[in-house]
Amino acid sequence: MKTVLVPLANGCEEIEAVTVIDILRRAGLEVTSAGLDTEPVHASRGTVLIPDTILDVALQRNYDMLVLPGGQPGTNNLKADPRILSLVKSMVQHERYVAAICAAPSVLATAGVLNGRRATSFPGALDEFPRVQQQPEAVVEDGKVITSRGPGTAMDFALMLVERLAGLPRRQEVEAGLQR
């Protein structure tokens, strides 16, 4: 079974976090949500999320994919955590998938993995990174790096992640069940 880590930081965008976790679990993927510390995560709109575990415990195993929800100040909290930046670099080095939505592609850019790559984000989130080839699409894939624009694209983003880890037929099954 393919495994996915979704780090949750205070101020994350709840639509992006919950949609990704839900859709990937519907596909039968093993998803671990991990808080940066032992406290519940207070998302950007006040929703309280209880992660499966803490990041230090989650980092004791390997994953097939890392997914970073956006939102503010969640994205800044991810960017400020050296464990996250190190994990992003390690995932890319080991040719595993990294994915980020909304403002979170800036975490990937901060880690240096978007240099020369095509990516999308919430408008303005990547403006300080001139080496990123910004794209207007809702979901952009460049090798094993997948980015998306924001809360409104969260379902398309999550379904693309399912397709990459579980295949097109599984994506179609999950999508049919959603009545899109």
pLDDT the model gives residue 144: 98
Between CA 65 and CA 42 the distance in angstroms is 24
Query: CATH classification of 3-173, choosing from 3.40.50.150, 3.30.450.40, 2.60.40.1840, 3.40.50.880?
Result: 3.40.50.880
53 has a pLDDT exceeding 90: yes
Beta bridge partners, 99, equal 67, 146
Half-sphere exposure of 125 (CA within 13 A, CB side): 31
pLDDT single digits (tens) 101-148: 999 999 999 999 999 999 999 999 999 999 999 999 999 999 999 999
Amino acid at 137: E
Cβ count within 10 A of residue 121: 29
Tell me the mean pLDDT in the region 43-51.
97
Q: Residue ranges per domain, the chain?
A: 3-173
Confidence of residue 72 (pLDDT cuts 50, 70, 90): very high
Q: Each residue of 147-174: pLDDT tens digit?
A: 999 999 999 999 999 999 999 999 999 9
% the chain with pLDDT above 70: 99
Catalytic residue, from 102, 103, 139, 146: name it. Answer: 102
Is residue 180 predicted with pLDDT exceeding 90?
Answer: no
Q: What average pLDDT does range 49-65 have in this prediction?
A: 98
Is residue 2 a contact partner of residue 63, using CB atoms and an 8 Å limit?
Answer: no
**How sure is the predictor about 179, in pLDDT bands with cuts at 50, 70 and 90?**
confident
Tell me if residue 12 is catalytic. no
pLDDT of the residue at 165: 98
Q: Is 170 helix (H, G, I), strand (E, B) or coil?
A: helix
